[in-house]
Each structure stands twice: as C-alpha cells, then as structure tokens.
Structure 1
Amino acid sequence: MTRLLIAMAFWTAVLPSLATAEPDDSILIGLSYPRTGHYREEGLAQMRGALLAIDEINRDGGVLGKPLRLVNRDSAARPEKARRNVDSMVAEGAVMLFGSVSSAEAIAAGEQAKTHDRLYFATIGYSNDVTTEKGHRHIFRESTSATMTGRALGQYLTQHFPDKKYFYITADYNWGHTSEDSLRSNTHTTDRALHPGVTIPFPTAKQSDYSTALQQADASDADVLVLVLYGHDLVRAIRTADNMGLSRDKQIVAPNLTQSVIEQTGSSIMVGAIGAEHWLWRVPERENSKTGMAFVDNFNQKYGIYPPSAAASAYTVIHQWADAVRRSQTLNTAAVTKALENHTYSLLKGPAQWRGLDHQNVQRVYVVKVNDRSTVIQHPSKQDYFQIVHQLDGEDAVISPDEWRSARRVAGQPETLQ
C-alpha cells in the first residue's frame, strides 16, 4: 500500500509538468509503456528512469543544442494500443520512440514506428523474435533475449542441479514458448515425457489456471519447478505455490526474475528462487562502473528507492540514442541507426554493444538467487534482494549470426534487416 501511495503521489506531481513543459525548440521523444495493467510496476520504473536521463541530458545542454521533452502514452502492454500510441506520438512530433514490457507490444510498436520512419527501442521484451524473426532496421532491443537468458541460466542449473527432473509452467505466448525452449535446450530437458510441462492462458489466466497447473507440478516427481511467467502472472503463481508448500519441496526457477516481482510478492516468500537479470543495482559497484553507481545514487535520491532493471533500460536507451544523435550530428533516422550499429559503450555496467546484425544489445547476463530475509533487511535500502551466483558475457550468450540467419530463413525473412 505504501508503494502504491508513493506511485500515486509521483504521477500527481509529474504528469501536469509533462503536459505543460513544452518549449517550442525542444526535441520530442515518445514513451509507450504500461501505466496500467499487469506490468504497471515495470512501466513506472521505465518512466522514472527516462525522466532521470532527460533531466541529466538537459542539464548538460540537451541534444544538438536543444532540450529533450518526453511525451508518453499508456499501452497497458496491449499491442493494439501500442500501435495507436506510436501514431499519436509521431503526429505530435516525436522523433524517437521507446518503451514496452510485453514482447508482443514491442513488436507491434516497432512495426508501427517503421511505417513512420522512426526508431523504436524495446526497453523490455525478451522473446527471441523481437530481434530475430520480427526484427527490422527500425527496432533495437536493450534487454536480453530468451536465448541469452536460457544460456546463462542453463549453465548454472546444469552445474548445480545435474540429472534433476524439471516441470515447466509456461505462459502461452511467444515469450513463454521461446524462453521455455531455450531453457530446455540449455539444461538438457528437451524430453517432455521425462520433464513435462503445461501452459496457462495469456493474458487472461485465472486463479484456477495457476492452481490446476501447480497441482500437476505438485503431483509430479520433479525436483525443479520452472515458472516461465512474468510480472503479475509470476507473482500470482509464486504466491499460490507458496500456499501449497511447493517451494519447500522443489527448487523454484523463473527465467526473468525482477526486482518488482520480489517487491510485489515479498522477499520472504521467494527466498532461494533462481532467475536471471540483465542489470541490478548491485552490478555497478561489482563492475566498478562510476556512471552506474551515480545512476543508482541519483535514482535513490530522486525516488527514495533503488532502481530496477526496467529503469536502467529506459535510462540507457535515452542516453544511447542521444549519444548517437550527437555523433551523427542529425536526427535523421538512417544516420542515427548507422551510428548505433556495432557501437560499443559502457554506461551502467561493463561493455555492451548494439549489434549491427540484428540490433540486439549484446551485454552480460546475471544469474541471481533471492537472499534470505536477514540479508535483505540488513542493507539500509531494505532492497538487497539478490546475490549474483553466475554470469555469462554477452558474446557467449547471444544468438550466433548463423543461428540468426537460419531462424530468418525458416520464417521466410531476408537474411539482413530491412
């Protein structure tokens, strides 16, 4: 309830200022994100990270001598709303667009941005097809892909849970299927008779869907329960699993385990759960990233909490786009795209690259395990949720060029981005 009241106060203070601060000489960028719906926590984090980045850039003189201004629309993580948002923000003058939590939302917004010759950055959206089968020259992805997550997490699980039986509960859409397939491949659990699984509807799952799926997991002899769910769906499933006592009998794994899920669920319920993240606030200190440590401190001072990965992604997108505009000395989409492609940088952690082949951000992936309650509350922030138990460099995690071209051929897509 406290976090909800803070969020409401945040929007009451911020939205009027966004609506009135409209200098004629500003450069407009557009954020389409879930302000409502199941992924609203991740959406709020993106807005906060974006506002912090814009404040910093404007204090340093803006871009091409002009201040940045943010326009935003609520997508509710729905693809059709994301498309309309893109149309609306471009009509208002947005020269670049970003956002999303759902992969389907990211794909839809990216396709619509292409029709307007605008770049779209998927801040969050883990399904492989965002930058593979559905990839094109107008979309970049900041977050990791399902392949990257599966390879990092698979390495750790194979080493620490050898010869164990798995049970998969998967959201029935592209992200769920590609994440499950990647993790099965990297944990040698592709035999579905030995390592069974069930799907649950998305985005219309009911409590009975979670209960039925978890009862099947409980009745199995699996040692590892993989919840290929995200956001609110993962929160509901973990609470149900805890009520059933499954966390005492099985190792809980969630491919994309975020700070907001811990905060919504409660860290005490999730102790020992294993997942993967592309950024967490402990990383800058671990990798001696001065810019990253400053981001954590500034975010904490501004909002009273430590930043989650969704905030870091939005912050990174804006700074990287602004840097590409400065280097190309133009807002022209083709020129900015060229400046981004194969550009290597370090911002909030170690080196990363916008790969020219597919516009996937190649970056280190971290396998995390949820800390016990005493560790969480010992830190002044009360947000020390994760310990990093394994990591995999981006070059080793990302889909190879040959794999990417093969996937494109199978989908009937050209072997270069169009």
Structure 2
Amino acid sequence: MHPGRPAFTRILIGLILLFSASVALASQGTVKIALNYPETGPYYMQGKDQWRAANLAETEINAAGGILNQKIELVTYDTKSSSELAAKNAVHAINSNGVKMIFGGSSSAVAVAVSKVCQEKGVPFFGTLTYSTTVTGEEARRHTFRECNDSWMAAKAISSYMNKNFKGKKYFYITADYTWGWTTEASLRKFSDTEDKAIHKGVLTPFPSTDFTAALKKADQERPDVLVLVLFGQEMANAIRSAHKMGMKERMQIVVPNLTLGMAERGTPRAMQGVVGTVPWCWQIPYTYNYERGIKFVEDFQKEHQRYPSSSAASAYTILYEYKAAVERAGTFDSGKVIKALEGHRYQLLKDEQVWRDFDHQSVQTVYVVRCKPRDEVVKNRYNLDYFEIIDQLPGKMAACSRQEWNDVRKAAGKPTRLEKLPGE
C-alpha cells in the first residue's frame, strides 16, 4: 500500500463530509413569512383567495431560488376577521416562529391591530385587503404598507363616475359600524357632495350582521335615487340578495364602494346585475389592457384552482414578489433597510405602474370603476365568474390624497407627520 494513501483517504473523506454538510446546510436555509388571513368567518372567501395566491407565489419564488437563496416557508394563521385574534397571531408568528414579514387580512380593524404589534416588534407588515383610510392615515406606521387602494381613492374614483350620472340625486347609506365603514362613507359623502345627512340619510349596522331587512326597509321608505351599501364580504352578499328580493334594484341605483369577485359570486349573478363599485384589480384588466404578467398570473391561478383570481389574490401575490424584490435590493432581511428599499419604489406586476409612497406607505395606483354584467352574460362564462365590466378608471395620482391632506389628517389625530422609526433603527 502506498504510504501516503491513508492520509490522502482521510483528507478526501473529510472534504466529502464538509461538502455534504455545506450542501445540507444550504438546503435547510429558509425564511419564514406569515400569512395572517381569514380562513373562516364573514370574509373567508377573500381569505381563501389570498391563501391560494400566496401559495402560488411561494412555489414560483422557491423554484427560482427563493429570497437571497433562502426558501420561503409560509406560516399561516386564521384571524376569523377578529382584530384581537389577529394581534395574538402576529405575536405568536414573531415570537415563536421568527417570521421576517407578516401580510394578509380582509378587515381594516384587523390591519390596525396587527400593525401595532408589528411596529412594537420591528417586523414589516403588508395589508392585503384593507380599505379604511386610517390604516395609512391616522394609524400609519413606519413598518406598515398597504398594497390595495384605500377608501379615499375608491370614493374619488366612484364619485367621479356618479357625479357624471347622478349629480344632485338623493342618496341613502347603509354602513357597517366599524372603521372601514365609517371612513368609506365619510369619503364618499365628501366627493359626491352628499354630506348633508338631513337630505342624504343613512343607518349604521352592527358588525358582523346577517339580516339587513330593517335597514333596507328604512332606506326604501326614503325613496333614494342611489342606495350605497358600505358593506363587505358575506354581509354585502346578504344585503344585496335581500334588496333584490324586495325589488329595490328597480327603484334605485345600488352602489358598493369596494367590490371583490368573491363578493359578487356570493351575491349571485341576478342580484348583482347592474351594481356599480370599484376594484383595485380584477381578472379582466390584464386582458383588456394587455398586461402580460397579469395574464400569466390569471392563467396559472386558473389552471391550479379552476377559477379566476380576485383582487385579494392579486394583492397577496404581488406582496410576496414586492417583498422579495425589496430584500434583494437591500441585500438583507433587516427591516429598516427593507423599508428604505420600498419607500418611493415604483413597480409593475399585474396591472399598470404602482408606487409605494414614501411618506405614508400607501401603494398609489389606478382605481377601476366596474358595473356588474347582466346575469345571462355572467353564466355564459365557464366558471360563472365574468361579473365585471370596466366603465371608468381614475389614475392613482388623481385618486390619492395629497401630502398636505395627509399632514392635516395626522395633525388632527395628534400624530407626527413623519412615520416613527422601527425599534433599533
């Protein structure tokens, strides 16, 4: 035997073991991200689409190498649309699972609650489906970003359309009694010139509610030209079906300020026919305006789930890709540096260009006004999901509040006009 062979063999074996250990270590590298969403409760349909799209993005990103060579491990929590439970979930996700980012939700009360936790813990939070102006207004925090438009933007967009077609008409508001409902009604009244509540009356309904008969009867007695349902998720579906049965749609135009595909689906094609609302995105938009990445998303989602994605799905999908891009621009998962990489950044994924505004972290974007198609057109579609006809749109720079308007809101709430830094920055 060659005298140097044993030493050489030991070195070779050592190198093989070291290489194997390095490969194993590299393969174990993961980054945990929490999806805190309504798996159950009144907004479960919006939540289910977030889960579907988040899993699609996770699979795609991991197949392409992950984020900074770390594979995404998606950790999920059910909020049940409860702000208290959502906050507890966020604490557990950060303290016990060590997540680097939290996203999701279909309630502004939930978004505000999770935002507070994440600010204290120094972890970025992305609101997926939260429209109340408070989220990036009075309650704006440095670590919080909102991917969908807010109530102000939706109200400006739909009021632009309504003022062309229903100027000077009588309105009546049925509004969910929580933060999203209040801010949405206030914004819509402002931009539609219906702030005089003696003329344009309204009623608040408890959240959650299942029976809207009394509120609808009160509205019907006032004989408005426009009935505004500031309701969301299953609540909107219940109310619109009741209004349809009562024959109210023949007597007035029904407006739902913030619509989603899931809401229209639960409302049923016949009851939703002719209803006007806004969306930040719907699956028809990429085809209408030829956005290739948006078309691919719709077709991949459709292939996987045999249905079209909603705006909440599009938002969840976009958030994961935007977080990945920000981490890679920053070269680190450090929250402060990731936030700086997001602020002022322009991006385009599933629709036209959007921008993460630096002073409030709102995603400024085009808002689309849609009208629900006739029942016969909806059911011709292979999934019975061709609900929306795009009838108007408002560019983000025209829809969003100005810096001065935001400053005024912050001052009125006794809040600073610059977002506080994260702990440790």
TM-score bracket for the superposition, by shorter chain length: over 0.9
Residue 196 in 1 paired to residue 198 in 2?
no
Q: Answer whether contact 2:178 2:207 (CA < 8 A) is retained.
A: yes
1: CA distance, partners of 2:384 / 2:108: 31
Residue 39 in 1 paired to residue 46 in 2?
no
Residue 82 in 1 paired to residue 92 in 2?
no
Q: Answer whether contact 2:37 2:77 (CA < 8 A) is retained.
A: yes
**1:224-271 deviation per Cα after TM superposition (whole angstroms, max 9, x unaligned):** 100010011111111111111111111110001111011112111110
Q: How does 1:174-213 map to 2 (within 5 A)?
A: 174-203=179-208, 205-207=209-211, 210-213=212-215
Q: How does 1:39-118 map to 2 (within 5 A)?
A: 39-90=43-94, 91-118=96-123
Match of 1:157 among 143, 162, 172: 162
2: CA distance, partners of 1:107 / 1:219: 36
The one-letter code of the counterpart of 2:270 is S
The one-letter code of the counterpart of 1:93 is G
2: CA distance, partners of 1:384 / 1:171: 27
Check 1:206–1:295 CA distance in 2 against 1; reply closer, same or farther (3 A cut).
closer
1: CA distance, partners of 2:233 / 2:370: 17
The one-letter code of the counterpart of 1:367 is V
Per the alignment, residue 11 of structure 1 pairs with none
**1:348-399 deviation per Cα after TM superposition (whole angstroms, max 9, x unaligned):** 0000000011000001000000001222233334311010000000110011
Q: CA deviation at 1:314?
A: 0.3
Per the alignment, residue 131 of structure 2 pairs with 126
The one-letter code of the counterpart of 2:197 is R
- What is the DSSP-based 3-state SS (H/G/I as helix, E as strand, rest coil) of the residue aligned with 2:242? helix
Per the alignment, residue 261 of structure 1 pairs with 263
Check 1:256–1:115 CA distance in 2 against 1; reply closer, same or farther (3 A cut).
same
Q: CA deviation at 1:107?
A: 0.7
Residue 372 in 1 paired to residue 335 in 2?
no
Q: Answer whether contact 2:210 2:238 (CA < 8 A) is retained.
A: no
The one-letter code of the counterpart of 1:151 is K
Per the alignment, residue 336 of structure 2 pairs with 334
The one-letter code of the counterpart of 1:186 is F
2: CA distance, partners of 1:286 / 1:401: 32
Return the index of the structure with the highest Cα Rg.
2
Structure 1 window deviating more from structure 2 (362-371 vs 57-66): it is 57-66
Q: CA deviation at 1:115?
A: 1.4
Per the alignment, residue 289 of structure 1 pairs with 291
The unaligned stretches of length 5 or more in structure 2 are: 1-26, 421-425
2: CA distance, partners of 1:380 / 1:201: 37
The one-letter code of the counterpart of 1:81 is L
Structure 1 window deviating more from structure 2 (96-105 vs 234-243): it is 234-243
Per the alignment, residue 15 of structure 1 pairs with none
**1:169-206 deviation per Cα after TM superposition (whole angstroms, max 9, x unaligned):** 11111111111111111111111111111111112x25
Q: How does 1:209-228 map to 2 (within 5 A)?
A: 210-228=212-230
Per the alignment, residue 241 of structure 2 pairs with 239
The one-letter code of the counterpart of 1:238 is I
The one-letter code of the counterpart of 2:215 is A
**1:127-181 deviation per Cα after TM superposition (whole angstroms, max 9, x unaligned):** 0000010001010001111100000000000001122111111111111111111
1: CA distance, partners of 2:339 / 2:210: 42
1: CA distance, partners of 2:328 / 2:159: 39
- What is the DSSP-based 3-state SS (H/G/I as helix, E as strand, rest coil) of the residue aligned with 1:268? helix
CA RMSD of superposed structures (Å): 1.0
2: CA distance, partners of 1:24 / 1:131: 37
Match of 2:407 among 400, 405, 408: 405
State the percentage of identical aligned residues.
Answer: 42
The one-letter code of the counterpart of 1:48 is R
The one-letter code of the counterpart of 1:29 is I
The one-letter code of the counterpart of 1:416 is R
Per the alignment, residue 152 of structure 2 pairs with 147
1: CA distance, partners of 2:398 / 2:177: 28
Q: TM-score, normalised by structure 1?
A: 0.93
- What is the DSSP-based 3-state SS (H/G/I as helix, E as strand, rest coil) of the residue aligned with 2:270? coil
**Equivalent pairs, count:** 393
1: CA distance, partners of 2:375 / 2:178: 34
1: CA distance, partners of 2:220 / 2:363: 38
- What is the DSSP-based 3-state SS (H/G/I as helix, E as strand, rest coil) of the residue aligned with 2:314? helix
- What is the DSSP-based 3-state SS (H/G/I as helix, E as strand, rest coil) of the residue aligned with 1:32? strand
- What is the DSSP-based 3-state SS (H/G/I as helix, E as strand, rest coil) of the residue aligned with 2:298? helix
2: CA distance, partners of 1:146 / 1:225: 17
Q: Answer whether contact 2:132 2:183 (CA < 8 A) is retained.
A: yes
